[in-house]
A and B are shown apart, each in its own frame.
Chain A
Amino acid sequence: MNSFKSALIAAAVASVAAGAVTSAQAETELVVVSWGGAYSASQQGAYHDPYMAKNADIKIVNDDSSNAAVAKLRAMNEAGNVTWDLVDVVAADAIRLCDEGLAEVIDHDKVLAPAPDGTPASEDFGNLIVSECFIPQIVYSTTFGYRTDLLASKPTSVCDVFDLAKFPGKRALEKNPINNMEWALLCDGVAPDQVYEVLGTRAGVEQALAKLDTIKDSVVWWSKGAQTPQLLADGEVVMGSTYNGRLFAVIEEEKQPIAMLWDWQVFDLDGWIVPTGTKNKAAVMEYLRFATDTQRLADQAKYISYGPARKSSAPLVGKHATLGIDMAPHMPTDPANAKTTLLYNYEFWADNRDDIDERFQSWLLQ
Chain B
Amino acid sequence: MTATDIHTGEAGAIVTADGQPLKVSLARALRRQRLFALALVAPLFIFVAVSFIIPIADMLFRSVENGIVEEILPETVKALATWDETSGELPDEAVFAAMVADLKVAKQNRTNTKVGQRLNYERSGMSSLFRSSGRKAARIKEGPYKDQLIKADKDWGKVVTWQVIKQFSPGLTPGYYLAAVDATQTPDGSIEFETSEKAIHTKLFVRTMFMSVAITLTTLLLGFPIAYLIATQPAKISNLLIILVLLPFWTSLLVRTTSWIALLQQKGVINDILVFVGIISDDGRLAMIHNATGAVIAMTHILLPFMVLPLYSVMKTIPPTYMRAATSLGAHPWPAFWKVYFPNTIPGIGAGAILVFILAIGYYITPELVGGTSGTFISNRIAFHILNSLNWGLAAALGAILLAIVLVFYLLYDRIVGIDNMKLG
Chain A residues near B (Cβ < 8 Å): 67-68, 70-71, 74, 96, 98-101, 105, 170, 175, 220-221, 223-224, 227, 234-236, 347, 350-355, 357-359, 361-366
Contact = CB atoms under 8 A, between A and B. Distances in A.
Contacts of B386: 71
5 contacts: A96-B117, A99-B131, A234-B262, A355-B124, A364-B376
Given A70-B388, A175-B373, A351-B127, 9 more contacts: A96-B390, A100-B117, A170-B266, A221-B290, A236-B267, A350-B128, A355-B124, A357-B389, A362-B200
B166 to A, nearest CB: 21
A234 B387 contact: no
A224 B369 contact: yes
B70 interface: no
Interface residues of B, number: 41
A99 B114 contact: yes
A362 B199 contact: yes
B114 A101 contact: yes
Contact of B203 (A96, A350, A362): A362
A349 B110 CA distance: 21
Contact of A101 (B110, B126, B204, B368): B110
Contact of B387 (A70, A101, A175, A355): A70
B169 interface: no
Interface in B193-211: 197-200, 203-204, 207
B74 interface: no
Interface string B64-82: 0000000000000000000
Contacts of B376: 364-365
A170 B200 CA distance: 26
A221 B372 contact: yes
B112 to A, nearest CB: 9
Contact of B390 (A100, A224, A351, A357): A100
Contacts of B7: none
B267 A234 contact: yes
Interface in B97-128: 110-111, 113-114, 116-117, 120-121, 124-128
Given A71-B387, A235-B267, A361 B116 contact: no
A234 B127 contact: no
B391 interface: yes
Given A100-B390, A351-B120, A354-B391, A365 B204 contact: yes
Nearest to A359: B198
Contacts of A99: 113-114, 116-117, 127, 131
B381 interface: yes
A105 B198 CA distance: 38
A347 B116 CA distance: 13
Contact of B265 (A234, A358, A362): A234
B113 A358 contact: no
A205 B28 CA distance: 74
Contacts of A170: 266
Contact of A365 (B116, B373, B388): B373
Interface string B362-397: 000000110011101000010010111111000000
B266 A236 contact: yes
Please provide the 10 A-B residue pairs with the shortest distance between their CB atoms, ordered closest to farther: A99-B113, A362-B200, A364-B373, A355-B124, A235-B267, A352-B124, A71-B387, A351-B125, A351-B128, A101-B110
Contacts of A354: 120-121, 124, 389, 391
B114 A361 contact: no
Contact of A236 (B110, B126, B265, B381): B265
Nearest to A365: B203
B110 A223 contact: no
A362 B423 CA distance: 40
Contact of B373 (A74, A221, A234, A235): A221
B291 to A, nearest CB: 10
Contacts of B128: 347, 350-351
Contacts of B200: 358, 361-362, 365
Contacts of A355: 124
B198 A358 contact: yes
A220 B291 CA distance: 10
A105 B368 CA distance: 35
A329 to B, nearest CB: 31
Contacts of A221: 290, 372-373
Contacts of B117: 96, 99-100
A351 B124 contact: yes
A176 B369 CA distance: 14
Given A224-B369, A355-B124, A362 B390 contact: no
Nearest to B268: A234
Contacts of A357: 384, 389
B113 A100 contact: yes
Contacts of A364: 373, 376
Contacts of A361: 200, 381
Contacts of A74: 390
A156 B372 CA distance: 28
Nearest to A92: B388
